[in-house]
Structure 1
Amino acid sequence: MADLYGLRTRDAAGAITLGTTITPIRSLKMMQVAGNGAFDQYVAIPEIQAESFVVVDALFDGGEYGTYSPQAWYSTGQLQLRQPRNLTWQVMILSRGGEPFAAPGSYGIRASNNNIRTQIDAVNKLLSVRYNGALNLGEQGPGSGNFIQWGDVTFPAPITTYERPLIFFNAADYMMIGNFYIRGSPGNWTGFRIQSFPSKSAHGDAALYPMAIKWFCASYMAPSTQAGEYGASVKDAAGNRLFVTTANLSLLNSQPSTNSFVTAGNPISGAGYYAAPAQMAWTGSYEDYILGNALFSNTNIGQTAQPIRANFGGFLPGRRDVLQMYCENNDGVNPVSVNGRTLFASRPMKPF
């Protein structure tokens, strides 16, 4: 038997809450990048490794049509932003836990067990599930005359991190959503809003029935513990709790097999309306949630007849092999693809 090194904790019932030989924990580094106003901006970021996940997100609440994220691509050591303007963007680098410790004086733990690495410190943080719930959106049945357009969620208590929390979506089957934004401001994120975009012309009769959507919210600040709970916790120099073994972790399950969308699927069109299609290979599992922060937010392409372009999409009926996305292009000029919308797959470590 191979040698096993590391840390294990259990709760009062004897269930393992952290086992560095079995728990696939990966680290998260958050930073900010200031846009320089260029059409394409290239930023050297040594922390981006060959197998990193990178997500670029907004740091502001501009409402349903004023919150957007730039298109972004990444490669080892480099981030590319398209039309970042002069705004500051949140960049999240998610990895497999192979980074060295931070500068002397950092706080945390690290364990290496054969090919499984676990690192929890004040720089490389973990995502903990804070809240979860369900939404019923879209057409409520053929001929019902009842269409639920918006899903509104208010968190039980604000998320107090500077960065926006991450919101993940899944569905029982069909899902087409967009115009996503998180309400609040740095240090006081209070909830989110999402709009439904079903299309019978492109997706058949599934668009006539309710979309049963599940969501969860995750952030790098761990939830508080209750008296009598068992386990271990890690804090930073300021006393902020970074990790606690009683938390439900958001596992960074997988990156889709490609990080680029390609033109595929049926467009959605009508009088004065057009939405261009795109697809990306997905994991094939109904258990995997999609990160919605950048994927379902809008694109701002500048001073045109239609500067704000909605990105929307999700799952086609009965399929999990692809993500189907759309980008609105009503004016017929300056076409934009959803290519460059950063995302990854996640699922909670413990069932809800």
Structure 2
Amino acid sequence: MADLYGLRTRDASGVITLDTTITPVRSLKMMQVVGNGAFDQYISIPEIKAQSFVVVDTLADNGEYTWSPLAWYSTGQLQLRQPFNNTWQVMILSLGGEPFAAPGSYGIRASNNNIRTQIDSVNQVLSVRYNGRFNIGFQGPGSANQIQWADVTFPAPITTYERPLVFLNADNYMMVGNFSVKGSPGNWTGFRLKAWNNQPAHGDTALYPMYINWYCASYQAPTSAVGAYGASVKNAAGVRTFVTTANLSLLNGQPASNSFALSGNPIVAGPSYSPGFQMAWTGSYQDYVLANALFSATNIGATGQPFRENFGGFLPGNRSVLQMYTYNGGGTNPVTPNGRTLFASRPMKPL
């Protein structure tokens, strides 16, 4: 067994609240960019490093037609396809290990056999706020009852400017789309999504309920309960950037935004055509997938069908791939799910 070094803390019941042998998702930079109306817009962002990954998200709630642009990134550059003139939220996430942000900043850094953790006084970690479970889709063969939409309301609004990140998992099969977060900057109240079960493509499993677990995470300053103890980091203004009583949302897979490849039979219904695409996934039923951009629509501009739904998730009994479809009006020049920004995550502590 390899030697492990770093920091570990536990709460009063003995549950581990921080373990630097596990990499937490942390934010290197959060910013907004404005579209310039070009078909492809290239934006210089020096903070995007070779090992960074980027999430591009909308700041709007347009119901089932909430959309985000296709986005690709490389060292120092972000590419947005048809961003129109809208403002977009950009989160540059990191595995940790970059230099501390500025002279005088401080925190904790640990390296364990190439697993790196950095908690500092500038960059906040991503922590779980709320979680739950719902049932969506067909309710069994021959059942007239179909739950087409899930509509979740948070116990209290999340007050960050950027949308909270919503992660989804399922007991087995999951095919969902039309994702949106309800609310507006500073007042995010919940989320909604639609079932896209397809029995001809995925077998009889698609005729049964999809049991989906979810949690949402944000960079809102974490708080501690009275009497709690552990480690805490604050910035120069006294705002807490990290506390061990928070449940961190961990990075457990970093797909590239161009990792989907054409795979599997398309879904054809009359004139509509939805080609299938797959990317390699983690293989673990413990890992959640980020819903924000992956399952939202794509807006391809002034065509007969400007909004293209992206839907997908997990195939029956298979976590080695992530299956996606993009709805198209026909089979000519179909849109693909590449350009969707996503990653795999799991909570550090049980929900």
- Please list every run of 5 or more consecutive structure 1 residues that lacks an aligned counterpart in the other structure: none
Q: What's the offset of the Cα at 1:2?
A: 9.8
Query: Map of 1:219-238 to 2, 5 A cutoff?
Result: 219-238=218-237
Partner of 1:64, secondary structure, is: helix
Counterpart for residue 131 of structure 2: 132
For 2:240 and 2:185, locate their aligned partners in 1 and report how far apart those are by CA, in whole Å: 18
For 2:330 and 2:258, locate their aligned partners in 1 and report how far apart those are by CA, in whole Å: 28
Counterpart for residue 112 of structure 1: 110
Q: What's the offset of the Cα at 1:98?
A: 1.6
Q: Does 1:75 align with 2:43?
A: no
CA contact (8 A) 2:291 2:342 kept: yes
For 1:166 and 1:156, locate their aligned partners in 2 and report how far apart those are by CA, in whole Å: 16
Partner of 2:37, secondary structure, is: coil
- The letter for the 2-side match of 1:40 is D
- Please list every run of 5 or more consecutive structure 2 residues that lacks an aligned counterpart in the other structure: none
Counterpart for residue 101 of structure 2: 102
How many residues align structurally?
Answer: 349
Distance 1:173 1:195, change over 3 A: same
Aligned-pair identity (%): 71
Q: What's the offset of the Cα at 1:286?
A: 1.0
For 1:117 and 1:290, locate their aligned partners in 2 and report how far apart those are by CA, in whole Å: 22
Partner of 1:221, secondary structure, is: coil
For 2:289 and 2:15, locate their aligned partners in 1 and report how far apart those are by CA, in whole Å: 28
Counterpart for residue 268 of structure 1: 267
- The letter for the 2-side match of 1:282 is W
For 2:330 and 2:24, locate their aligned partners in 1 and report how far apart those are by CA, in whole Å: 45
Q: Does 1:322 align with 2:321?
A: yes
Q: What TM-score do the two structures reach when normalised by structure 2?
A: 0.93
Q: Does 1:52 align with 2:52?
A: yes
Distance 1:2 1:342, change over 3 A: closer
CA offset digits 1:115-155 (Å, max 9, x no partner): 44332235422110001111101000001111000001000
CA offset digits 1:88-128 (Å, max 9, x no partner): 1111122121222223454x513234544332235422110
Q: What's the offset of the Cα at 1:331?
A: 5.0
CA contact (8 A) 1:257 1:281 kept: no
CA offset digits 1:52-80 (Å, max 9, x no partner): 22111111111111x10111111222211
Distance 1:131 1:23, change over 3 A: same
For 1:289 and 1:218, locate their aligned partners in 2 and report how far apart those are by CA, in whole Å: 12
- The letter for the 2-side match of 1:249 is L
Q: Indicate the RMSD between aligned Cα atoms, in angstroms.
A: 2.1
- The letter for the 1-side match of 2:235 is D
Query: Map of 1:21-32 to 2, 5 A cutoff?
Result: 22-29=21-28, 30-32=30-32
For 2:267 and 2:3, locate their aligned partners in 1 and report how far apart those are by CA, in whole Å: 56
Query: Map of 1:1-352 to 2, 5 A cutoff?
Result: 7-20=7-20, 22-29=21-28, 30-65=30-65, 67-104=66-103, 106=105, 108-114=106-112, 115-256=114-255, 259-330=258-329, 335-352=334-351
CA offset digits 1:190-210 (Å, max 9, x no partner): 000010000011111111000
For 2:271 and 2:137, locate their aligned partners in 1 and report how far apart those are by CA, in whole Å: 22
- The letter for the 2-side match of 1:121 is D
